[in-house]
């Protein structure tokens, strides 16, 4: 049994989403003691100037606006830090992850929080976590030269120290649905 799971859904589709169904089955199989659900389909704030300035300002010196700009990011980071395993259900749109999922990565990839700059270069601070990605594509073969999602996710997660990443391929889902 897994202690704590962060379950992220990044598909814009709900009822007919293959990645949502597959990721839910993965979470059920893991049988975690605690699950936190995060649905990115409703939007994730994009980074702006206030957010960026806030990340370069020591916490005690931040303005009210800067603290407010980082509040959502702080919530997402806390969810990520608390999880032993992260299960991600994501579609592949136009050869990559959905924009809301990219925005989530932008919100959690924070210097001094999820990675650090060292004398030897960047070092991830989230080591020891496991990620399982249920990636659904309507026609782009996962792992092909057209799949930018898998290498991007592995790089971004690895940059934060998460190197135990499993991508479950459910590509061709549109073709399977049409054939049924």
Where would I find the beta strands (DSSP E) of 23-80? Answer: 34-39
Query: What residues are designated binding site for FMN?
Result: 11, 17-19, 92-95
Please tell me the predicted confidence (pLDDT) of residue 174: 44
Known binding-site positions: 11, 17-19, 92-95
pLDDT for residue 139: 83
> 164 - beta bridge partners?
130
**Do the beta carbons of residue 171 and residue 139 sit within 8 Å?**
yes
Separate counts of helices (H) and strands (E) for the chain: 6, 7
Average confidence (pLDDT) per 10 residues, the chain, 180 residues: 90 90 94 97 96 97 98 98 98 95 98 97 98 91 92 98 93 42
Q: At what angle do helices 99-108 and 64-82 cross, to 10 degrees?
A: 100
Tokens 């957010």 correspond to: 51
- Map out the domains of the chain with their CATH numbers: 4-179 (3.40.50.360)
Beta pairing partners, 168: 134
pTM above the 0.85 mark?
yes
| pLDDT for the residue numbered 134 | 94
Please give the pLDDT value at position 180: 35
Task: State the pairing for strand pair 115-118/121-124.
Answer: antiparallel
Q: What DSSP string describes 92-158?
A: -BTTB--HHHHHHHHHH--BTTTEEEETTEEEES-TT-EEEEEEEESSPPTTSTT--HHHHHHHHHH
Distance CA 39, CA 58 (A): 30
- Taking the CA atoms of residue 154, residue 32, residue 4 and residue 173 in that order, the dihedral angle to the nearest 10 degrees is 30
């Amino acid at each position: 049994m897994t202690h704590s799971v962060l379950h992220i859904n990044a598909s814009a589709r709900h009822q007919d989403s293959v990645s949502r169904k597959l990721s839910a089955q993965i979470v059920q199989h893991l049988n975690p003691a605690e699950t936190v659900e995060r649905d990115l389909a409703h939007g994730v704030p994009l980074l702006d100037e206030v957010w960026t300035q806030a990340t370069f300002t020591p916490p005690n010196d931040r303005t009210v606006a800067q603290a407010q700009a980082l509040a959502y990011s702080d919530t997402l980071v806390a969810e990520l830090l608390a999880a032993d395993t992260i299960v991600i259900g994501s579609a592949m749109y136009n050869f990559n992850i959905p924009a809301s999922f990219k925005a989530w990565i932008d919100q959690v990839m924070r210097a001094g929080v999820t990675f650090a700059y060292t004398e030897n270069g960047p070092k991830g601070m989230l080591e020891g976590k496991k990620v399982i990605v249920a990636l659904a594509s309507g026609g782009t073969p996962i792992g092909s030269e057209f799949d930018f999602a898998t290498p991007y996710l592995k790089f971004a997660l690895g940059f934060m120290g998460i190197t135990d990443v499993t991508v479950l391929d459910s590509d061709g889902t549109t073709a399977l649905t049409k054939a049924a």
